[in-house]
A = this chain, B = another copy of it.
Amino acid sequence: MTETAQPEAKTARGGRRRGRAPAQAGPKPIQQAPYWQPKMPFDPVELVSADELESIHETSLKVLEEIGMEFMLPEARDLLKQAGADVRGDRVHFDRALIDQAVATAPAEFTVHARNPAHTIQMGGKWMAFGNVSSPPNASDMDNGRRVGNRDDYQKFLKLSQYFNCIHFLGGYPVEPVDIHASIRHLEALRDMATLTDKPMHAYSLGPDRIRDGIEIARIARGVDQETLNNEPSLMTVINTNSPLKLDVPMLQGIMEMSSRGQVVVVTPFTLAGAMAPVTMAGALVEQNAEALAGIVMTQLVKPGAPVIYGSFTSNVDMKSGAPAFGTPEYMKSTIIGGQLARRYGVPFRTSNTCAANTVDAQAAYESVFSLWGVTLGNGNLVKHGAGWMEGGLVASFEKFILDCDLIQMVMEFLQPLEMTEDALGFSAIEEVGPGGHFFGCQHTLARYDKAFYAPLLSDWRNYEQWDASGRPDAMTKANQLWKQALADYKEPAMDPAVREELDAFVDRRISEGGQATDF
């Protein structure tokens, strides 16, 4: 009569409740749902009213008009000037009509192609796609602790990103492979990405040679010609503004290269409220919106109709220490309102699964689930840093990767529409069992029990005594076993030998040429 668990509950097959099956000779393969791309089944939440949304929009237009934004690349300023912007030195002041016209040409939905067509994703509308951790300088796991990123860890994270069906795209390098020289790192890293995974790819905008190499590697991997690639977005790049109100040279080069070739630009201001943006969330959103609009305008001036994504990364800092905070209530709000803004402009929306924890404890989990809560209610279309991101992006954690896959899988399960057939409504089962009975053995249960509910990767639902007797493992300990098992189960996706040959020839040639001069 009190709301406690039922220690005497029986199994579907009539046996006494028991723990997990005893350890097998080898570990069981990890159970995961087949690959699918989720869609929001309900309308995203409107956290601010239409009027309030307009006040953010209007204030950000005023920022772009009266304060302006610095564009550090002369060619970019020339293009803006031709389009009618008021350019004074590095500072560009935007006229409202220019913004309206340019934003209007950005597509609301588009397809991002993977070299494996089964992994091609839809962007915009109610679609959602989750990516892996991207860009941390460090990697960590429970066995070997925290270290500077290296190619071995990099490849392992790529394999995990390929292995887990809930990861829909590569958001960047899951960890920086620092042991590869910077001038050729992008070549080796993108070759690994193109061969160890077959999902949509990302290249960094760190100089024009690097991004051109990225586009060429994406083209070769897909086995298409340049014209096809220009019409089929197959590579993404994140353009972070140097907040407040500045777009650096390599970022602008990235926009010019990527947009001119019809590839996906993800404009993401890095507006931490109280640091690079006003200490109010409304003010940080104004700044985010101004910077995002400026970047989106730039893409459309390069090529009207070029695929572009509105990125939101606005969070707050800990005002006691200046440390960045993630997965906070403020982050949830900014993410949901970011979604409102992106939809206002009819541009797909990019968000992230963030966390600032130092270890895979309760904090890591609650910051991530709060992030995913905001991401979902905001209908993030492209969810970066989905799995493995920790310490505010300073570390890629193998155990966090598994935790996050579990969390994303749960969110995806939540996004599955509920079965509402007559059989699911269960009148006959209730009639069969009747008052005071139980459903474990009834026909309705037996026909459905093996696929009835989501089976988590980490949740330990054994009773206390069994859990205690098995050494009291916490979720992090179980995650440590699972990433190793996933790596053992991983299979490299097939690649046409001719494609592989072309890829290697290109990469090897570019390496022999010295890659990108590291001169900035």
Contact partners of A366 in chain B: CB under 8 A: 365-366, 368-369, 403, 406-407, 410
Q: Would A434 and B245 count as touching, CB distance under 8 A?
A: yes
Of A114-122, A131-139, A213-221, A489-497, the stretch lying at the interface with chain B is A131-139
Rounded to whole angstroms, the CA-CA distance of A413 and B453 in the bound complex is 32
Interface: A438 (CB within 8 A)? yes
Interface: A97 (CB within 8 A)? no
Taken together, the copies of this chain in the complex come to 2
Q: Would B418 and A47 count as touching, CB distance under 8 A?
A: yes
Interface: A236 (CB within 8 A)? no
Interface: A180 (CB within 8 A)? no
A410 closest partner in B (C-beta) = B329
Interface: A224 (CB within 8 A)? no
A461: contacting residue among B286, B321, B332, B468, CB under 8 A: B321
List residues of A (319-365) whose CB comes within 8 Å of B's CBs.
319-325, 328-330, 332-333, 337, 352, 356-365
Of A51-59, A191-199, A255-263, A506-514, the stretch lying at the interface with chain B is A51-59
Interface residues as binary, A444-468 with B (CB distance below 8 Å gives 1, 0 otherwise): 1100111011111011111110011
Rounded to whole angstroms, the CA-CA distance of A511 and B146 in the bound complex is 61
A374 closest partner in B (C-beta) = B414
A318 closest partner in B (C-beta) = B461
Q: Would B426 and A3 count as touching, CB distance under 8 A?
A: no
Contact partners of A7 in chain B: CB under 8 A: 394
A360: contacting residue among B317, B319, B352, B362, CB under 8 A: B362
A279: contacting residue among B403, B445, B458, CB under 8 A: B445
Interface: A273 (CB within 8 A)? yes
Q: Would B279 and A392 count as touching, CB distance under 8 A?
A: no
Of A60-68, A102-110, A301-309, the stretch lying at the interface with chain B is A60-68
Most chain B CB within a 10 A radius of its CB, from A17, A137, A366: A366
Q: Would A439 and B282 count as touching, CB distance under 8 A?
A: no
Contact partners of A434 in chain B: CB under 8 A: 67, 244-245
Q: Would A474 and B392 count as touching, CB distance under 8 A?
A: no
Min Cβ gap A249→B in Å is: 11
Q: Would A392 and B5 count as touching, CB distance under 8 A?
A: yes
Q: Would A361 and B362 count as touching, CB distance under 8 A?
A: yes
Q: A69-B435, A283-B430 are in contact. Are A329 and B464 (CB under 8 A)?
A: no
Q: Would A55 and B425 count as touching, CB distance under 8 A?
A: yes
Interface: A433 (CB within 8 A)? yes
Q: Would B323 and A5 count as touching, CB distance under 8 A?
A: yes
Q: Would B276 and A438 count as touching, CB distance under 8 A?
A: yes
Rounded to whole angstroms, the CA-CA distance of A457 and B367 in the bound complex is 13
Q: Would A449 and B393 count as touching, CB distance under 8 A?
A: no
Of A8-16, A78-86, A151-159, A480-488, the stretch lying at the interface with chain B is A8-16
Most chain B CB within a 10 A radius of its CB, from A3, A137, A238, A394: A3
Q: Would A393 and B2 count as touching, CB distance under 8 A?
A: yes
Q: Would A437 and B20 count as touching, CB distance under 8 A?
A: no
Q: Would A322 and B11 count as touching, CB distance under 8 A?
A: yes
Q: A427-B63, A430-B286 are in contact. Are A240 and B318 (CB under 8 A)?
A: no
Contact partners of A69 in chain B: CB under 8 A: 435
Contact partners of A425 in chain B: CB under 8 A: 55-56, 59, 280, 282-283, 286
Rounded to whole angstroms, the CA-CA distance of A303 and B19 in the bound complex is 47
Q: Would B135 and A4 count as touching, CB distance under 8 A?
A: yes
A313 closest partner in B (C-beta) = B3
A283: contacting residue among B70, B436, B444, CB under 8 A: B444
- Offer 19 A-B interface pairs, CB within 8 angstroms, sorted by A: A6-B272, A6-B275, A42-B47, A56-B425, A67-B431, A245-B430, A245-B435, A273-B453, A274-B452, A279-B448, A280-B423, A281-B424, A282-B421, A283-B424, A329-B414, A360-B362, A362-B474, A366-B369, A369-B373
